[in-house]
Structure 1
Amino acid sequence: MSRLLTIFLLALLFISCKQNVKKDIVVQVSTDVHQVEENQNITKKEGEVSQEKAIDFLRKFYVLYLTDINEDTNKCMLSNYLTPDLIKSIDKSDGYPIIDSQDYEKIDLNTLKVSKTNIENVFKVSFINYDERRINIKLIPIKESFKISGITIFRKNHNYSYPLVLTKSENKYSFDFLKYNTDPDDPYFSNIYTIEDFDANTAIFKKVGKDESYEYFCFKKKIEKGLELFYQKDSEYDVYNGDRSKPLIILYKKGEDFYAKSPFIEDGKEVKFKERGW
């Protein structure tokens, strides 16, 4: 009888210990899940704080920059807000990429809006300058603050990005000045076409002839085997009234030589452009 009682008590002790182990495991799992949820909430809050800081940084910059424009002052130091590469790219550009304009009037700061996008570290800035301007701004963290490292301007047929990062394949199509003369032996009746590199995004397509001359700023669009130049704006000559959705000229290379096709040159046949030095 005593032996049976001893076995019974040992069985009860084993069951009790096993239940306590299970209870400890459940408590530990519950604690771990709670800790993960807390960490996720902290990370989410840190992300929200970071985005709020980024938006505050951009709003401060644009208020200073637009105030300089409105009041003709120079208090906004670009080096405090923009990366050196972006400043160089803007200095080479035609116009004012920061406000997406060739010109400007007094800008109502009350129309300035800064909001986040679905792209990491990219924010949308909008305001009224003649009409609504929408610009995407890319930020990079710098110590406890940020700097603007990229600007994207939206157009109907093309987007402009500053600075333009060229790949090896795109560098292949870099040039300074190209020229095609329809009749070098008779300059009086010949037409001279030139393409001049203006900046990372822009080239100038020009014709000088006895009966017609024009000069158009064009934006560059990289294609698989060359560059397409689309009309952007006039320079000093008549307004271009053609189809702006189609390129004015397509430029490509054969070996080291530049060739082009354009409906404006020799009825669209292939012609060879010569680089500066001809």
Structure 2
Amino acid sequence: MNIILTILIQLIIINQAFTIFISKGTLWCGMGNNAKNCKELGEYKETDSCCRMHDLCPYKFTRKNREHNGFRWSWRKIYTLTHCECDLMFKQCLEEEPIKKGSAKIWHSFNKLGIKCYSFLPCDQNNDLWKSIDNRESGSCFNGLKVIVFHSVDDYTSYMKNQFTKEELIIEKNILNSSLDRFYIEKTMKLKYANCLNETYEFKSKIINNFNEYHKLDDNIIEIQARNKHISENLNEIYINELMESKSKTTVLLAKVKDALMKMFSILT
């Protein structure tokens, strides 16, 4: 009974947090989407295209497809668990300068909800990496790899920064290049998203290219990570400024209520 009540509360919170507060001007930035087809975008086209790209990422555990690659996503979890590289590309898209309309607010909500993501680590090497997973959830070995669930995309990038040498990042890129072939393309893609199947099948190369670009494997990794941190802080600052510039006590109050709801959701999940 307690589990059912918890799930109902989660559904209410995530529905309110997404639908009411961040979907204005978009069709894809929320729980599900309101697009008639995979090509349709809302008024805030550039921002909506970031959410659309994230929705099209096929490397995910959903309420219907919970088990794959030696890992099972708990039936109590009501949101989709997406590969961290897809979440990272989503974040980068929203962070692109000049900042797109509504993007700072959307990322603030996504981040506050405590949405987790997953990636792969090798089973039979890098024992120091496995000793450092702390309380992060992980799967069983599958073809020499394990799924590891990170608390957020920022947790993922921080882990990569603190635990991986440049040589290990190259190994991880090779893991991505092989392990993503084992995943599935969701059946729903063949229906509503039929016209975008080509984009779905291109996701693997997008992830590999972005991984190489993000970590700048040929450049100074410390400088690149410092730059990425600055961009993230800038997006958060923009959201706070937008909130203050509204000069509406109601808007500020609603934002605080929304943050409280999302905090509750992150605790429950």
User: Aligning the two structures, in what range does the TM-score lie when normalised by the shorter sequence?
Assistant: under 0.3
The TM-score, its normalising length taken from structure 2, stands at 0.24
The TM-score, its normalising length taken from structure 1, stands at 0.23
Which has the larger strand fraction?
1
- Rg larger in structure: 1
